[in-house]
Amino acid sequence: MSGAKVLVIDAGGRGNAIAHAFARSAQVEKVYVAPGNAGSTMIEKCEMALEKGKQIKEIPDLASFAKKKGINLTFVGPEGYLSDGIVNAFQEEGLAAVGPLREATILEGSKCDTKDFLKSIGVPIPKHQNFNDPEKAKEYVSQFYAENPGENLVVKADGLAAGKGSIVCGSKEEALSAVERIMVDPKLFGDAGRRVDIEERLRGRELMFFAVTDGKTVLPLESAMDYKRAFSQDEEVAIKLFNKLTCNPNLENNPNTGGMGGYSPHPWLDEELSEKIMETIAKPTITRFKEMTGVEYSGMIYFGLMVSDENGEKVPRVLEINVRLGDPETEMILPRLKTDMYALSQAVLNKELDSIELEWSPDYCVGICAISGRVVKPVTSGETEERPGYPGPHYTNMPIRGLEKVDPDVLVYHNGTAFRTDAEGNQKLYTTGGRVFTVVGRGKTLDAAREKAYENIRQIRFNGIRYRKDIGLHS
């Protein structure tokens, strides 16, 4: 009897990790990945979903592919496809797809509306205000700083911004600049910045809390310690240069990214805190969303939290909600999943999640993101052009070397790569994005996993490669 066929919708490292998790299932025969990347072809049982030799990207074409190949289950990774209604479209075609319906993706698609919803149901959040007028937003910023000396703000683009839509501010001038750069010029996040959520900057420790739900049962997943800042604390010169090149007036600001790496298990997420988050945040969000909207939320979800110590008690507050698994956290979490990924996904679809007992390896996984960093290149005028690198403007199409030197027991999940033909007609690997690889080392201890990851990421080369050197050193 042949096994199941799975289609994973994703183009990055998260998609590689999801495909890898399905490929480990004895129930699965083949995993297709769309649009995929070069790494999608390097995982056992996996291949890119192609139509006439080309990647498939449009929702109708993906549904057609799923029908043609007899796909048993589709798992959707990125927020863009979910917000565009891919689960709705697949269901209308009689196809099984794991992920929330379009109507439920508002929880990530609008930070402003989500904060209003959470406030209305009593889920703890920072104090916030929403604005669609940049001048009124600036008035609020000025008033806040006048009335709250020593406090600061975070300015967030309302819509989807690939995990980079928040600017954490350290002064009134920076907050005013953030409003200008998001809403007016240069409109850093495009249409996503037509509205902004401006909220108080909380003190505490950030936590990404992951869960899975079938609409009735909500189960906590393992989490990862995530490193959002582009640079380590001791890279002052690089931070100043980045801000100078990206016209940020605060030269000391360490820019936010979609994630530079991390490790799992999480160092301070204990059972008591997990239970508190489930009871005060995760479960109320799922149940009250259906009560208030009539829409049942099903699939993966994660809560970006700030956990503050108040009178000896850990108090979590929601900074944001994402209607999916995170990237790069997925690359450190899913390798530790011992529960069959196909069985878990089927339980979500069949609303039988209460029958699943999640099992995790006690091993540590440390993931380090190799990104497209600062590069100075000559241009046709004979001068040079300098790009600061991810999360700012960066060069792509850089040839990649050294992947064959990586140890076979080290996972290399591709975030932004593609095979292309060089001048001699040879197929070679090239960079295609800001985050290029997530290299994951595994070990019985954090130090062992960390050493494994760094030993191997040093084998990989491309022009401008950069990665943080302190992943796993502190929590």
State which residues of the chain have pLDDT below 70: 1, 163, 381, 475
Tell me the two tokens of residue 376: 């100075």
What string of DSSP letters covers 436-457? EEEEEEEESSHHHHHHHHHHHH
> Within 10 Å of residue 247's Cβ, how many Cβ atoms?
10
pLDDT tens digits, one per residue of 318-370: 999 999 999 999 999 999 999 999 999 999 999 999 999 999 999 999 999 99
Residues 233, 213: Cα–Cα separation, whole Å = 37
HSE (side-chain half, CA atoms, 13 Å) at 197: 26
Give the list of residues 6+ apart from residue 344 with CB closer than 8 angstroms, or none.
Answer: 212, 356, 358
**Residue 99 Ramachandran class (φ > 0 left, ψ -120 to 50 alpha, else beta):** left
Q: Are residues 441 and 263 in contact, defined by beta-carbon separation less than 8 angstroms?
A: no
The beta-strand segments (E) located in 108-217 are 128-131, 153-157, 166-168, 196-200, 205-213
Answer yes or no: are the C-beta atoms of 318 and 123 closer than 8 Å: yes
Set out the domains of the chain in order of their start, with CATH numbers: 4-101 (3.40.50.20), 127-200 (3.30.1490.20), 364-466 (3.90.600.10)
Placement of tokens 């967030």 in the chain = 156
What is the predicted pLDDT for the residue at 383? 82
The pTM (predicted TM-score) of the whole model is 0.93
Judge whether 245 and 386 are in contact, CB under 8 Å. Answer: yes
Nearest to 8 by CA among 69, 52, 83: 69
pLDDT the model gives residue 381? 67
Residue among 323, 303, 345, 330 at smallest CA distance from 83: 323
Q: 125 and 160 in contact (C-beta within 8 Å)?
A: no
What would the two tokens of residue 235 be? 């890279």
- Number of residues that this document lists for the chain: 475
| DSSP label at residue 26 | T
CA separation for the pair 120, 149 (Å, rounded) = 28
Residues near 338 by beta carbon (within 8 Å), at least 6 away in sequence: 359, 360, 361
Residue 260 CB coordination number (10 Å): 27
Instruction: Give the list of residues 6+ apart from residue 403 with CB closer than 8 angstroms, or none.
Output: 412, 429, 459, 460
